[in-house]
Structure 1
Amino acid sequence: STIVISSPVITTYKEPISGWIDNMYGPCGIIVGIGSGVLRVFSGKVDNKANIVPVDLSVNALLASAWDIARKTYDTPPIYNYVPDADNMVTWKEYMEYGFEYGCNIPMRKSIWYPRFTIVPWRWQFVILSFLYHTVPAMFMDLSMIVVGKKPRMLKIYRKIHKFCSVMEYFSSNDFKFDNDNVRALSEKLEGADKQIFGFDMRHLDWKELFRVSLVGLRLYVVKDDPRSVPESIKRHER
């Protein structure tokens, strides 16, 4: 037997198709929230390392660990921490900045507000700013909906957003250090075609490319925006 522990996952890097995901939990939810204009403030320390990994590479590492224990007997189960490699990491600040940069190039067609985002290091700052940036506008929007005879929904949406933020705050406010020597050693055991098909070495990951395909994938597979709507969305974004 073996134990594989993975960091929070985001979209695929390359397989089965670049940028695929079927939900917006975890870090992907942050990007969707920013892109749609509903997430305006978040609590976390921006210089902390972002321990996130693409889901397809995480699955490859899991498959490789099963292959390894099938061909070799260990006295104690090996533990694989599948995390970003210390030689190739990004911070939460870079994750947010890349997301914002690429998001402006392919804006969401049904965004509610123009994307603007503030990260604050302290919880009390988040409480104050989220009330001003989230709750107050939501109250006015819900009031407008009631006036025109529609069902109010923004406060309900923000309750879910704030619950999600409280979960992610643990990861963004703390700086974690993991030992991934076993993962490195496992990667070196793969040879030839296996190394190409089941590659998972995070030292060779192009973060900018991953974030670019993630934005495209989130827009297409989660938000369900037609790629042909990008020119129209850009004009709306500029207005």
Structure 2
Amino acid sequence: MKHLKAFVHLSTTFCHCDYDVLEEKIYPPPHNPHDIIHAMEWMDEKTIKLITPSLLGEHPNCYTYTKRLAEYLVYEYRHKFPVCIARPSIVVPSFSEPVKGWVDSMSGVVGIFVGAGKGVIRSMMCNPDASAEIVPVDVAINAVLITAWSRANLKSEEVPTYNISLGGHVHLKWPDLVESVRGIIDECPFEKTIWYPGGNMRTNWLVHYFCVIFLHYLPAYFIDFLCLLFRQKKFMVRIQNRISVGLGILHYFALRSWKFDNDKLLDTIKALPEEDRKTFYTYDIDYDVRTYMLHSMIGARVYLLKEPLSSIPNARRQLF
């Protein structure tokens, strides 16, 4: 690969979640990646499941843990390839391209808001003072392209590492997102809502579990019981089980605060010609939270749920 100019490894800002402040540098892995790979090759599934909790340590899941190991594997190839590492935070619908609010996945934040809009999510644990470390997908991609350009112009074997997140620039808290979505759902509700859209953030686990039992699972079992009576396929408990898994993952990130330094990325962006900064927009655009969330919810409605905008008036009538 003689003509390779830049190899960008896509990681995540949460791969070093045991650090409250994440700098743009390589951190030592908790275990030797080669030892872990070798162990996975000969261990059976039962043994792997048994040792996984001790391997993960403070990591909430295998995703962040393996991303952390992968960073060091990439670092080891610095003498062979022009590598760099880009760490986006939680990726959310697009800001502008290909269209405003474009999204193709129900995972993460979008899935939670869709669930609340459908009336099936009524409670979520969240730290109201925690920053919402999100980044629109097109902004993240632009930043990744910028890092590739920067690495291609770097004549050394170092491994530049870039943190890509809006947390330190937009200063967005989770309650800001929730409140903006609450009003937007009333304006453009989804079709076939199970319950009136709503829900609240909780800071007390006992209250949250109480709400999950009485506002998530009891209605779900009741709906499935009705489906059984009318000889329809049961679905609601299965959906709530999936929601519980998703909430469990998101709770870890919504209850904690991190600071992601990105001075290196900002300096790289400043080095771009002015025309390129406009083309590959990142931090120098107007982030109006409500407008952005409106486009995001419309995007979820159109691209994920396949509900045309023409059905909004009818959805409003059903809601009210």
Structure-2-length-normalised TM-score = 0.72
Q: Any conservation in 2 of the 1:87–1:203 contact (CA below 8 Å)?
A: no
Which of 244, 261, 266 does residue 162 from structure 1 map onto? 244
SS of the residue corresponding to residue 170 of structure 2 reads: coil
Q: Any conservation in 1 of the 2:91–2:134 contact (CA below 8 Å)?
A: yes
Structure 2 distance, partners of 1:74, 1:145, is: 64
Output one character per residue of 1:204-223: Cα deviation in whole Å (capped at 9) or x when no partner. Answer: 43322221110110111011
* Counterpart in the other structure of 1:91: 173
Structure 2 distance, partners of 1:202, 1:82, is: 14
Which of 80, 92, 95 does residue 162 from structure 2 map onto? 80
Q: Any conservation in 2 of the 1:20–1:218 contact (CA below 8 Å)?
A: yes
Structure-1-length-normalised TM-score = 0.95
Greater CA drift, 97-106 or 83-92 = 83-92
Amino acid at match of 2:217: T
Residues 1:199 and 2:245 aligned together: no
Amino acid at match of 2:270: E
Give the unaligned 5+ runs of structure 1.
none
* Counterpart in the other structure of 1:185: 267
SS of the residue corresponding to residue 53 of structure 1 reads: strand
Identity of aligned residues (%): 29
Which of 207, 213, 228 does residue 146 from structure 1 map onto? 228
Give the unaligned 5+ runs of structure 2.
1-82
Output one character per residue of 1:100-129: Cα deviation in whole Å (capped at 9) or x when no partner. Answer: 111111000121111121111133322221
Larger Rg: 2
* Counterpart in the other structure of 1:6: 88
* Counterpart in the other structure of 1:42: 124
Q: Which has the higher contact order (CA 8 A, sep 6+)?
A: 1
Residues 1:65 and 2:147 aligned together: yes
Output one character per residue of 1:123-175: Cα deviation in whole Å (capped at 9) or x when no partner. Answer: 33222210010011111111111111112211111000000000000110101
Runs (4+) off by over 3 Å? none
Amino acid at match of 1:126: H
Structure 2 distance, partners of 1:214, 1:82, is: 20
Q: Any conservation in 2 of the 1:51–1:83 contact (CA below 8 Å)?
A: yes
Measured on the aligned residues, the alpha-carbon RMSD in Å equals 1.4
Equivalent residue pairs, number:
238
Structure 2 distance, partners of 1:75, 1:156, is: 50
Greater CA drift, 197-206 or 162-171 = 197-206
Output one character per residue of 1:6-62: Cα deviation in whole Å (capped at 9) or x when no partner. Answer: 101110000011111111110111110111111111111122110011000000000
Structure 2 distance, partners of 1:122, 1:2, is: 41
Structure 2 distance, partners of 1:22, 1:217, is: 9
Structure 2 distance, partners of 1:144, 1:109, is: 20
- CA distance 1:204–1:72, change in 2 (3 Å): farther
SS of the residue corresponding to residue 15 of structure 1 reads: coil
Shift of residue 202, structure 1, vs aligned partner? 6.0
